[in-house]
Amino acid sequence: MPGHTPSETAVFVPEERVVFTSDNVVQAMPILFQAVPDDWLKSLKKLEKLEADKIVPGHGGVCDKAQLKVMYDNIKYMVGEVKTAIAKGWSLKEIQEKVTFAERFPPMGPADAIAPMRHGSIAHLYEVLKK
């Protein structure tokens, strides 16, 4: 189930109708340092097809399949924001300064503790999307 990383794994326990998704499903801003965005979206679609009632995400509480759509939308949103910035001709540094993803993931306190994770995610997306 490539996505968050190229070698991401999910474990489905059919008799319990539960799937353990590792970090392909989280209940926070996805971190994309090693992400394979297109494959991540495909993996989320594969997870939707499983007959699972419960999802155990990499971060956050047990949830249902509704979280798969949230994750899918979040990945599309983050990729779209960086793609739009690249189309404007912004440099990586400009994108890291101007793209905050704040519409979906508000800053955590005045120092914005997730800024390094956001900047790393943007750097990786920039590299992937420029190819």
Q: Is the Cβ–Cβ distance between 35 and 3 less than 8 Å?
A: yes
The DSSP code for 28 is S
**β-strands 11-13, 18-26: how paired?**
antiparallel
Q: Which pLDDT does position 106 carry in this prediction?
A: 84
Measured distance CA(129)–CA(121) in Å, rounded:
12
> Residue 91: pLDDT above 90?
yes
Average pLDDT, the chain: 95
Band (pLDDT 50/70/90 cuts) for residue 113 is: confident
Domain ranges of the chain: 11-130
Measured distance CA(78)–CA(75) in Å, rounded:
5
Residues 11-130, CATH architecture:
4-Layer Sandwich (3.60)
Q: Is the Cβ–Cβ distance between 12 and 45 less than 8 Å?
A: no
Measured distance CA(85)–CA(103) in Å, rounded:
16
Q: Which pLDDT does position 111 carry in this prediction?
A: 67
Of 71, 73, 91, the C-alpha closest to 82 is: 91
9-62 pLDDT, tens digit per residue, is: 999 999 999 999 999 999 999 999 999 999 999 999 999 999 999 999 999 999
Measured distance CA(21)–CA(47) in Å, rounded:
8
> Residue 115: pLDDT above 90?
no
What pTM value is reported for the model?
Answer: 0.94
